[in-house]
C-alpha cells in the first residue's frame, strides 16, 4: 500500500510552473525530419584553448573542492573581464561569486530577497525561468508589457509601473533579450538607471548575452547604479559553454555576502576543472565571441529578411540569437497552436511567443543559433506551407 504524501509538499513548489520551452521543444522534437529553430544555445564548439585548460586541470588532479565563492584566480579573471569589457568594478575577494550557470545565480538571488507577497517587476516578454523562481519564493510577478514599444522598456512605462507598485522589491532586466533580441543603447540604459536610482528597488540585471551584440557595444546597467544592481553574466553564450555551467553574480559586498550563503548551500563550489577552464576563457579568450558574432550577423540578416518576405514582421535584433516575429494576421494568432501546426505540417520548429509572458502572444521565437543551411531550409519550408 503506497502512501500519497503529496499534501506535504510546500504550496510554493506545487504552484511553480516550469518553463514550457523545454517541454515544447521536446514535444515537437519527436516529429521526424524537423528543422529546429528552437534552441537557446550556440551551435559552436567551446574554444580549443579553453578545453585544453580543462583537460590539463583534470590531468593535474585539480579534483578537490575550491573556495565556495570560486577559485580566486577565476574570480579575478572574471572581474578583469567585466572591467575590460564593460567598465564595471568588482572586487573579486568580496563582490563576485562563480555559480553553476546564471540559472543558479538567479536561484540564489531570488531565494535571498523574495518572500511571500513581494512584488517583482519584470519587463516582458522575457526568459520564463524568472517567473518560476518568483513563484517558488512566493513572490508576486508584476509584468510590464513592452510589446507596444517594440519590446524595449521606456522610461515612461517604467515610471508608471513604479508609481503603481511603490512597494515592489525588485526589478529583473535582461538585455540583450531572450526572446526578442532587442537591447538598449548606452543612453537608453542610462535613462532607465536614472529612474531606478531614485528607488530602493534591487535591480537584477541578466546580461548573459552581453558579448553577442551586433553593432553597438554592450553597456551594463551596473556602470550607472552599482550600489543597487546584482549583475549576472557567464560563459554559456559568449564562449559556447552551456554545458560547462559557469555563471557569475556580482554586486555590492554586503548583498553578495548574503546571496553567497545560498550559493554555498546549493552547490558548495562549481566543478574545479570547469572553473580552471573559465579562468582561461575570461583571461585569454576575451574576444572568443567575435568569430561567432560574425556568423550570427549573417544568419540574423538572412532570417530577418526571409521572415519579412513571408509576412512575419520583426524588428532587426541588436543582440542574442533570437528573432521575435509577429505571426501574419491571416494565420492562427494562438502562438502555441500555430507552432504545433507549423511543426507538424511544415516541419519547422519554433517556440510560441506566449511562453515568454505578456506581449508574447501572437508572436513566435526563432533561434539562429543553427547553421545557415538549416535557416534556409526552414524558410523554404515555411514558404511552401504558406503557399
Which residues of this protein are in contact with ligand PLP, per CB under 6 A? 40, 101-103, 127, 174, 178, 206, 208, 234, 236, 242, 247
Cα 11 to its chain centre, rounded Å, is: 27
Q: How far apart are CB 209 and ligand PLP at their closest, in Å?
A: 7
Q: How far apart are CB 192 and ligand PLP at their closest, in Å?
A: 17
Buried b (16+ CB within 10 A) or exposed e, 247-262: bbbbbeeebbeebbeb
Q: Give the bridge partners for 164, in sequence order.
A: none
Q: How far apart are CB 242 and ligand PLP at their closest, in Å?
A: 5
Contact 157, 146 (CB under 8 A): yes
Q: How far apart are CB 378 and ligand PLP at their closest, in Å?
A: 20
Q: How far apart are CB 198 and ligand PLP at their closest, in Å?
A: 26
Return the number of the residue (339 or 346) whose C-beta is nearest ligand PLP: 339
Tell me the H-state helices in the chain. 11-15, 20-29, 48-59, 72-86, 101-113, 129-136, 155-164, 186-197, 253-267, 272-284, 289-309, 335-341, 372-386
358/344 Cα distance (integer angstroms): 26
Return the number of the residue (127 or 379) whose C-beta is nearest ligand PLP: 127
C-alpha cell at 45: 564548439
Return the number of the residue (128 or 347) whose C-beta is nearest ligand PLP: 128
Return the number of the residue (320 or 346) whose C-beta is nearest ligand PLP: 320
Return the number of the residue (127 or 312) whose C-beta is nearest ligand PLP: 127
Contact 21, 365 (CB under 8 A): no
Q: How far apart are CB 287 and ligand PLP at their closest, in Å?
A: 20
Return the number of the residue (146 or 346) whose C-beta is nearest ligand PLP: 146
**Which single residue brings its beta carbon nearest to ligand PLP?**
101
Amino acid at each position: 500500500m503506497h502512501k500519497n504524501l503529496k499534501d506535504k509538499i510546500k504550496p510554493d513548489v506545487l504552484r511553480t510552473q516550469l518553463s514550457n520551452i523545454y517541454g515544447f521543444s521536446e514535444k515537437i522534437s519527436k516529429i521526424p525530419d524537423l528543422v529546429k529553430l528552437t534552441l537557446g544555445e550556440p551551435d559552436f564548439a567551446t574554444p580549443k584553448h579553453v578545453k585544453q585548460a580543462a583537460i590539463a586541470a583534470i590531468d593535474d588532479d585539480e579534483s578537490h573542492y575550491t573556495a565556495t565563492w570560486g577559485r580566486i584566480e577565476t574570480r579575478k579573471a572574471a572581474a578583469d573581464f567585466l572591467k575590460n569589457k564593460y567598465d564595471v568594478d568588482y572586487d573579486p575577494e568580496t563582490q563576485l561569486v562563480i555559480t553553476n550557470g546564471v540559472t543558479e545565480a538567479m536561484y540564489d538571488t531570488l531565494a535571498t530577497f523574495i518572500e511571500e507577497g513581494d512584488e517583482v517587476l519584470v519587463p516582458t516578454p522575457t526568459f520564463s525561468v524568472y517567473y518560476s523562481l518568483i513563484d517558488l519564493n512566493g513572490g508576486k510577478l508584476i509584468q510590464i508589457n513592452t510589446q507596444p514599444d517594440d519590446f524595449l522598456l521606456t522610461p515612461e512605462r517604467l515610471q508608471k509601473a513604479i508609481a503603481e507598485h511603490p512597494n515592489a522589491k525588485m526589478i529583473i532586466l535582461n538585455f540583450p533579450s531572450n526572446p526578442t533580441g532587442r537591447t538598449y543603447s548606452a543612453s537608453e540604459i542610462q535613462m532607465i538607471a536614472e529612474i531606478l536610482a531614485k528607488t530602493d528597488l534591487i535591480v537584477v540585471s541578466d546580461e548573459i548575452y552581453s558579448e553577442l551584440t551586433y553593432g553597438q557595444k554592450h553597456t551594463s546597467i551596473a556602470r550607472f547604479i552599482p550600489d543597487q544592481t546584482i549583475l549576472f553574466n557567464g560563459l554559456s553564450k559568449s564562449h559556447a559553454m552551456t554545458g560547462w555551467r559557469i555563471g557569475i553574480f556580482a554586486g555590492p559586498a554586503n548583498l553578495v555576502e548574503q546571496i553567497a550563503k545560498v550559493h554555498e548551500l546549493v552547490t558548495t563550489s562549481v566543478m574545479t576543472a570547469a572553473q580552471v577552464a573559465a579562468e582561461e576563457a575570461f583571461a585569454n579568450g576575451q574576444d572568443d565571441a567575435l568569430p561567432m558574432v560574425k556568423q550570427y550577423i549573417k544568419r540574423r540578416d538572412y532570417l530577418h529578411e526571409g521572415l519579412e518576405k513571408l509576412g512575419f514582421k520583426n524588428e532587426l535584433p541588436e543582440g542574442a540569437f533570437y528573432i521575435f516575429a509577429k505571426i501574419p494576421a491571416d494565420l492562427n494568432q494562438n502562438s502555441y497552436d500555430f507552432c504545433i501546426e507549423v511543426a507538424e505540417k511544415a516541419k519547422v520548429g519554433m517556440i510560441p511567443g506566449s511562453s515568454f509572458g505578456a506581449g508574447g502572444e501572437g508572436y513566435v521565437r526563432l533561434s539562429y543559433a543553427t547553421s545557415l543551411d538549416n535557416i534556409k531550409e526552414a524558410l523554404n519550408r515555411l514558404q511552401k506551407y504558406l503557399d
